[in-house]
Structure 1
């Protein structure tokens, strides 16, 4: 090992309390190191030989270090590159960074605040603008309602993720949009590689930017609805469409409060408390408590794989999980159930009226489309469970061998 140096990728070092977050900006691979480990890694990245680094560590911290084990950990994290391989080329300049700065400039914030204030004043005078489940049915055609609500959310969802992207690019981070499939749904997610390489206080805006967009969209749709009323004061078709879409925006906004999921607010909460994997740590602690209660200690997982702060916060994270389930219950009771009941009541009235007219065919097609979606959801869900069961033995063998 004498004179041997380690080829290490370019890394970022961000102090956080008593720990240091170290990671690769190009891959988004990060790990939490104690200060002494981070200092040792810095020496290795600067080209210090392994034996010299071990001697430096022992002299500085008055205790020996297992360098071979430390290097093995760096390999597992993907921090070490092949000595013969060329270093990763510097990332190209982030595109549209200027747009990100403009989107969150003082002028932009003033405009967003003006929209919010105007909407709040307008709603206080016209309570029929307040979001309500009945607004979903903006026309009599259930099929048209279903199609518009399904596909009309796409640009609003992209706007939500677009604000996340711009907030990241404002910091010079290579954020991008990724589309993934979850059963029958297409999900848009923002990948923000490098977010852990910036100071903690700078991470809040990228996490909250999507909710800022939702508030802005809600206010804009409400103002359009108000200013497009008919002569008799009722809502025009444009206004009813805006209110229907606004209701879906409100549901997406409220969804973020389900802190038992990895929502935008969950990341804000975890960041504020200095946690790195609060979601998994809290679940593991809860399961371990259960297995200890039923005297099955062999089922417990090693809690040492999470940081001390994750474990400390995870012990009292339960009330926030309960809050998340309360939010889900509220969405179900005050939104999902009323919309579902109204939908089937209208469909049953049209199909069971005895008249074979446009409303009959419209409702029948809508019911068939819903049935097809539900069937596809069940089939794909069962297929996914079968694939997971088939993959489980293989994964177990790989771990054993």
Structure 2
């Protein structure tokens, strides 16, 4: 039996997660769901007990012979346990240094006290007043209401597109700031980067350190982005009502109406839980499954493994229990159907729309003097901007798929 005096645990967070526990280290950015037996072993290691003592303690508490040695090997493998204190400290320092060198995302730093001001009672009262005022103006002022045709334009294509793109980028940044400020309130240092959900370019706030906090404290940072979106929509409604009172109409009113519609579409898009959206993370937290997406991929890989008689995919890990397997089956179905629907939307809606923009631009150029010069420029610029945004998202998506397949090929070989 191994001499436990030769080993040292890294600082570990242990949070109740349903019937199990979420155990991990924020610096290593590694968290695992462990049963209560595993937590008892970790507690014994912390207290410096020998493996024989820990084994006897578990036997007394659970009336079951726990394979403590295998669990210790697991802790060594994931670098939660090291042969001495120096190795443990070095592992965390090395990981932090590597992360600082390779991670180019912006680290958001704000004191917990400063972040708490955004969620104080005076601040919450202001938010409620703005939302209440917007609700009243929405009922009383027609121009402030949702305009379902706001995204349909017949002129000023490029001005409309670039203005809407800029304003939506500002709103999106406010959305991410909501996540980051709520995370900073818990003492986290969130990271902000650019990523993609399928072919859609998105700003990404990394709140992975949140799993070191109690489950109940995670909801506000995860929901903060959508709450900011609600505040943004309310603010735009008030602005539209003010512009209406001064008789202002035209393209800028339509741009603001389109921005409102775009934010509402984005809030609805968050419910596409087959992607790693805000609602996906809220659901993951609620169901005590920190990585539903990976579980779905694992289950579908196991299905391919069975259907292909072992030629494709990988078998299902034996450690998965019945409750977890039921969740994997349900979410993998949602995951697969969601992606099929997204591909249908890509083929039947997005690609034909871009093709039509290209035809309009080409027709405008070919009509010669019948189409004003600046209208030609406007249509061509609008098409190129649309293609650039779509193409950038497709490039990120395809590159991610290529890297995923490359990693899998390296693993199998």
TM-score bucket (shorter structure):
0.7 to 0.9
Residue 145 of structure 2 aligns with which residue? 130
Residue 57 of structure 2 aligns with which residue? 56
Residue 166 of structure 2 aligns with which residue? 151
Contact 1:214 1:249 in 2 (8 A): yes
2:182 and 2:23 map into 1 onto residues whose CA distance is 22
Residue 190 of structure 1 aligns with which residue? 205
1:248 to 1:63, Cα distance in 2 relative to 1, 3 A: same
Ranges in structure 2 where 5+ consecutive residues have no aligned partner: 97-108
SS at match of 1:23: strand
1:254 to 1:124, Cα distance in 2 relative to 1, 3 A: same
1:384 to 1:190, Cα distance in 2 relative to 1, 3 A: closer
Q: Any idea what the Cα deviations from partners look like across 1:185-234, whole Å, max 9, x if unmatched?
A: 75321122432222222211111110001111011012111111275x45
1:314 to 1:39, Cα distance in 2 relative to 1, 3 A: same
So what's the TM-score if we normalise by structure 2? 0.78
Q: Does 1:269 align with 2:269?
A: no
Residue 367 of structure 1 aligns with which residue? 383
Contact 1:136 1:145 in 2 (8 A): no
Q: Does 1:395 align with 2:395?
A: no
Contact 1:139 1:145 in 2 (8 A): no
Contact 2:150 2:258 in 1 (8 A): yes
1:269 to 1:326, Cα distance in 2 relative to 1, 3 A: farther
SS at match of 1:228: helix
Residue 47 of structure 1 aligns with which residue? 48
1:337 and 1:386 map into 2 onto residues whose CA distance is 22
348-357 or 6-15, larger mean C-alpha shift: 348-357
Give how far 1:373 is off: 5.3
Q: Does 1:35 align with 2:36?
A: yes
Superposition map of 1:168-179 within 5 A: 168-179=183-194
52-61 or 190-199, larger mean C-alpha shift: 52-61
Give how far 1:300 is off: 6.2
Superposition map of 1:1-400 within 5 A: 1-2=2-3, 4-81=5-82, 83=84, 84-85=86-87, 87=89, 95-132=110-147, 134-136=149-151, 140-180=155-195, 187-229=202-244, 231=246, 233=247, 235=249, 238-282=252-296, 284-285=298-299, 296=309, 301-306=315-320, 308-317=322-331, 351=365, 354-371=370-387, 390-397=406-413
2:355 and 2:49 map into 1 onto residues whose CA distance is 69
Residue 104 of structure 2 aligns with which residue? none
241-250 or 199-208, larger mean C-alpha shift: 241-250
Contact 2:151 2:258 in 1 (8 A): yes
Residue 105 of structure 2 aligns with which residue? none
18-27 or 160-169, larger mean C-alpha shift: 18-27
Contact 2:299 2:329 in 1 (8 A): yes
SS at match of 1:154: helix
1:331 to 1:180, Cα distance in 2 relative to 1, 3 A: closer
So what's the TM-score if we normalise by structure 1? 0.80
Contact 1:282 1:311 in 2 (8 A): no
Ranges in structure 1 where 5+ consecutive residues have no aligned partner: none
2:392 and 2:110 map into 1 onto residues whose CA distance is 39
Give the alignment's Cα RMSD to 1 decimal.
4.0
Give how far 1:303 is off: 4.8
Contact 1:115 1:216 in 2 (8 A): yes
1:291 to 1:64, Cα distance in 2 relative to 1, 3 A: closer
SS at match of 1:4: helix
